[in-house]
Structure 1
């Protein structure tokens, strides 16, 4: 169970980043027609999710009060870069929400703050996988590691975005991310069979659970989009997060002792 806090941290941080990025894309596309109230609610949701992710990461530390030591590894330590980028993303997200709430008339400043936060979210999505592309762990040192983590941002984050913005763009991004994850799975399994067959065998239950939950979540997302049933969209987002958690447990078990 030692890696379980990292499971929640990585999945939730990526879901938050995906949700925020999609909200900003919608704002840029819609321009003045974008609902500031909706954008604010999505920002709050993204902040809460990344806040939970950050708390999960702290629980992984042997001595949580020494978390600030991560600053000393900035630039040379992938884990320090990951932690710092998450803190910057969360901080910018808070600032953008504060600007929206305190200065609702300053639309240009709000957009600039959200765009900067979206850039920080993209950086976070790039830096998290770099912690795990380790040459000495061949089952992790593969293109499938960053690919599955980036896709997670837009399966879970995309489904969550449909709660507030059931737009065609958000729906298509979520579907494409889900199909992309399905399509990479056979090649990913082949790679794991060649590099860590025993560990793969032990973790197949979690991989199978991920695929089954994907199917359920995708069906729920399609129904919610077609029928405009918002509670179904929320359920779809939750199930996608559960699917990514199952897959991430399997991912960590490829190196560590099984959870």
Structure 2
């Protein structure tokens, strides 16, 4: 597996898993008495896929253990630590949901722990890239992009795998959160990309690469923003009740958002031009 492909799979799957965990935690506060076994299994599975992809990127499993020795100075070490911790909690939480669902206190503790560790893991991923010698990754845009992916993709995956549990409840909060996330993502990313060409040689080279990918970037934003609108649209119709939202619209929204965010993550790596060598 190529290095960039492994990183793409790792970051995308891990952020999606973290988003699912976050929305499971939120939904347990909003809808008492629900058990989201499918969502728990999905979050655990995606986190495992992400960690395996990370190991493939490092070349050998023991490299991950070696990277943990620099926690005090290396964001790579912190990313590895918090991602691994999240995977462990997500897998344990899924096992509890499937085999010990009546352990409500343990489940609640694992949900909150997983959500907290997950949000820290996304921060560590973002910080690793923003401190690298790659101008196109530097700045707040990377933080917004990673958290928006976690929120948008995580919310949609959670809704799809939890359709049965969420029947006849008001779910418009998910639509509002997803729409807000992708609007903020676009509001930060678009001017950032426009101003990229004002930087040094590496930044200008990245701007040239992104300029050559203008069509695919446009498709990304159509899919991302369109997917969010599709999700929210039924709740904006006065004649339609939120609980009657069509599953076909939900699938369409999920497909559009996943495709759009995945394209965006590909562009994120494709635009990489380093001013010096090395990640820390």
Query: What range is the shorter-chain TM-score in?
Result: 0.7 to 0.9
Q: Work out the CA distance in 2 between the residues paired with 1:121 and 1:53.
A: 13
What TM-score comes out, normalization by structure 1 length? 0.87
Q: 1:144 aligns with which of 107, 123, 141?
A: 141
Q: Name the counterpart of 2:63.
A: 66
For the aligned residue pairs, the C-alpha RMSD in angstroms reads 2.3
Q: What are the ranges of 5 or more consecutive residues in structure 2 without an aligned counterpart? A: 236-241, 275-280
Q: Work out the CA distance in 2 between the residues paired with 1:168 and 1:187.
A: 29
* Worse-matched range after superposition: 119-128 or 193-202: 193-202
Q: Work out the CA distance in 2 between the residues paired with 1:135 and 1:111.
A: 37
Q: Work out the CA distance in 1 between the residues paired with 2:134 and 2:68.
A: 26
* Worse-matched range after superposition: 226-235 or 108-117: 226-235
Structure 1 residues 137-196: Cα deviation after superposition (integer angstroms, max 9, x where no partner):
332221111111111111111222222247122221111112222222332222323233
Structure 1 residues 26-81: Cα deviation after superposition (integer angstroms, max 9, x where no partner):
11233xx2311xx2221111111122222222222233553332222333221121
Q: Name the counterpart of 1:8.
A: 9
Q: Name the counterpart of 1:243.
A: 260
Q: Work out the CA distance in 2 between the residues paired with 1:103 and 1:158.
A: 25
**Alignment of structure 1 residues 124-203 onto 2, 5 Å:** 124-134=121-131, 136-163=133-160, 164=162, 165=166, 167-195=171-199, 196=203, 197-203=207-213
Q: Work out the CA distance in 1 between the residues paired with 2:39 and 2:133.
A: 40
Q: 2:224 aligns with which of 205, 214, 222?
A: 214
* Worse-matched range after superposition: 84-93 or 242-251: 242-251
Q: Work out the CA distance in 2 between the residues paired with 1:56 and 1:242.
A: 19
What TM-score comes out, normalization by structure 2 length? 0.81
C-alpha distance 81-205 of structure 1, shift in aligned 2 (>3 A): farther
Q: What are the ranges of 5 or more consecutive residues in structure 1 without an aligned counterpart? A: none
Q: Name the counterpart of 2:277.
A: none
Structure 1 residues 210-244: Cα deviation after superposition (integer angstroms, max 9, x where no partner):
11221442344236765522354234223322211
C-alpha distance 63-204 of structure 1, shift in aligned 2 (>3 A): farther
Whether contact under 8 Å (2:179, 2:229) holds in the other structure is no
Between the two proteins, the alignment pairs up a number of residues equal to: 253
State the structure with more CA Rg.
Answer: 2
C-alpha distance 124-135 of structure 1, shift in aligned 2 (>3 A): closer
Q: Work out the CA distance in 2 between the residues paired with 1:133 and 1:162.
A: 31
